[in-house]
């Protein structure tokens, strides 16, 4: 059995967790590959205390010095690309090629925030008087709790951790109990930072709940389910702590008639958007609305592309689709498929175990004819299922796309600029991709409308999520103001409050 780092990082020291043990399963072999000790109450307390103690000096560290240290984090992560990618594949089941890309994206996030974190610390605004200086200053929040899911354990950590550190905050980070190993393996990438700036703890939902409820945690950045996100929001609201929540989606994928000549490309893009990481992506395309005059051709191309996908060993470079992360996750998706079929839907391809004797495999499924009321159209699937249906007009497509409580992302294939403008304005989603699905941009803010979350990650907005805004007013002349007490010394006209003299 390979040797994995299972210790927690607390106050700059590697510590064996003494809380409840977490057995980490390889989703391909179904074998336990490591056991990680959760953070006990005492160890979590120590991690938060270490972050609290380190916060003032880290906040006072010049931004250019923090930037240099974040660039070093990125360099160290890139140097371990193969090791980290294999570790993520072993514990999460995502194909090795996708995890290698994830390591690169993770490093890029640290490089990006290293630079914009030293770009500015606020702005100067016009003062009320000529003798004054007025500024808007961006301060760090203090200690940030980062609660990270299993599907992109390093990337979604970096989207929180990198801007939090760049803004001058210290952190306590908890990965999913399903995929803690890759996060704990990052400890050497942070050992040049002052002790306590980054703390890595393991645990289940109870540890995450304790982080969200702790008064010493000034903000919580969370990615996960709507149900859990609401619990995090309630805990933060009860103590008026800042929160940044990304809670999943049910992304729509619209195919317009004017791409009739490129349907094969649009089908390949749709298959990739639906089945990347076995459909276990927050922005997976989970609802396909195709104009009726191109529907049959698009469906045929979609099914043909899906049939050609290679399902198997995620370490094999030729594999397109690996296993799902757990038996429980697969069972949830299978229930949605069964409901769709029972209601009159038809699975044209996939939906079985892909001929695999072991592993949490589910062959990518294409579903047609399922009623709109079924879960495959209404609830987040988070698995390799693509329901397709024809629509007659763009009005119908947009209305259906906006019909769920989610609003994370949406995809549209069209060549028509007027259609793009309509979809850009009318689709209720945090990101709208045209002709290039699921492409992230470090400089482009990411987040959702409605129940898909609150706040944004990435971009300057992702940095500001971890900053407090302060107005600073400086008067260079120490002298009484004419609108001060006593009012009796002025005539009636002079008694009127001046701009800036009252709340």
Close Cβ partners of 238 (under 8 Å, ≥ 6 residues apart): 213
Catalytic, out of 5, 98, 102, 246: 246
366, β-bridge pairs: 349, 386
> Is 173 an active-site residue?
no
Distance of CA 184 to the CA centre of its chain: 19
Say if residues 411 and 253 touch (Cβ distance below 8 Å). yes
Q: How many CB atoms lie within 10 A of CB 325?
A: 26
Whole-angstrom Cα distance, residue 218 to residue 467?
A: 11
Say if residues 247 and 229 touch (Cβ distance below 8 Å). yes
Q: What are phi and psi of 469, to 5 degrees?
A: -95, 130
DSSP letter at 190 equals G
**At 90, which helix (H) or strand (E)?**
helix 81-92
> Is 68 an active-site residue?
no
Say if residues 420 and 433 touch (Cβ distance below 8 Å). no
Say if residues 497 and 483 touch (Cβ distance below 8 Å). yes
Say if residues 232 and 222 touch (Cβ distance below 8 Å). yes
Catalytic, out of 282, 286, 423, 457: 282
Q: Helical H runs in 214-315?
A: 226-238, 263-275, 292-307
DSSP letter at 435 equals S
∠ CA 166-171-172, nearest 5°, is 155
∠ CA 442-466-459, nearest 5°, is 20
Whole-angstrom Cα distance, residue 388 to residue 305?
A: 14
**At 66, which helix (H) or strand (E)?**
helix 63-79
CA distances (Å), origin 327, targets 145, 163, 259, 286, 355: 29, 34, 39, 20, 16
Active-site residue list: 246, 282
């Amino acid at each position: 059995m390979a040797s994995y780092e299972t210790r927690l990082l607390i106050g700059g020291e590697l510590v064996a967790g003494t809380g409840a043990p977490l057995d980490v399963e390889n989703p391909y072999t179904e074998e336990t590959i490591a056991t990680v000790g959760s953070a006990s109450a005492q160890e979590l307390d120590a991690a938060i205390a270490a972050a609290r103690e380190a916060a003032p000096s880290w906040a006072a560290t010049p931004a250019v010095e923090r930037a240099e240290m974040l660039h070093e984090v990125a360099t160290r992560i890139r140097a371990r690309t193969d090791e980290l990618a294999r570790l993520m594949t072993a514990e999460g089941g995502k194909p090795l090629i996708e995890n290698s890309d994830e390591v690169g994206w993770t490093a890029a996030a640290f490089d990006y925030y290293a630079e914009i974190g030293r770009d500015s610390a606020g702005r100067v605004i016009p003062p009320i008087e000529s003798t004054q200086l007025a500024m808007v200053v961006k301060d760090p929040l203090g200690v940030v709790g980062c609660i990270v899911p299993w599907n992109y354990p390093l990337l979604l950590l970096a989207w929180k951790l990198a801007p939090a550190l760049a803004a001058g905050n210290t952190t306590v980070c908890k990965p999913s109990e399903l995929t803690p190993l890759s996060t704990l393996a990052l400890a050497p990438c942070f050992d040049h930072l002052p002790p306590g700036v980054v703390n890595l703890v393991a645990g289940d939902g109870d540890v995450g709940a304790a982080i969200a409820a702790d008064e010493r945690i000034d903000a919580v950045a969370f990615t996960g389910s709507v149900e859990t996100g609401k619990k995090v929001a309630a805990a933060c609201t009860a103590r008026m702590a800042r929160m940044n929540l990304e809670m999943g989606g049910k992304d729509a994928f619209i195919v317009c008639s004017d791409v009739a000549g490129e349907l094969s490309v649009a089908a390949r893009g749709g298959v990739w958007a639906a089945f990347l990481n076995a459909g276990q992506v927050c922005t997976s395309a989970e609802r396909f609305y195709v104009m009726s005059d191109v529907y049959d051709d698009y469906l045929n191309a979609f099914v043909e592309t899906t049939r050609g996908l290679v399902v198997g060993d995620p370490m094999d470079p030729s594999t397109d689709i690996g296993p799902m992360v757990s038996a429980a996750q697969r069972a949830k998706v299978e229930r949605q498929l069964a409901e769709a079929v029972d209601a009159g839907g038809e699975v044209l391809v996939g939906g079985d175990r892909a001929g695999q004797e072991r592993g949490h495999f589910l062959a990518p499924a294409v579903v047609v004819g399922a009623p709109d009321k079924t879960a495959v159209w209404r609830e987040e699937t988070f698995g390799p299922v693509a329901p397709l249906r024809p629509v007659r007009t763009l009005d119908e497509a947009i209305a259906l796309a906006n019909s769920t409580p989610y609003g994370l992302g949406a995809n549209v294939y069209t060549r028509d600029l007027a259609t793009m403008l309509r979809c850009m304005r009318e689709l209720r989603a945090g990101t709208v991709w045209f002709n290039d699905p699921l492409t992230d941009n470090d400089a482009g803010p990411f987040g959702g409308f409605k129940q898909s979350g609150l706040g944004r990650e990435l971009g300057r907005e992702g940095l500001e999520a971890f900053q407090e805004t302060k107005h600073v007013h400086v008067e260079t002349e120490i002298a009484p103001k004419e609108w001060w007490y006593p009012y009796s010394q002025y005539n009636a006209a002079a008694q009127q409050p001046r701009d800036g003299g009252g709340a």
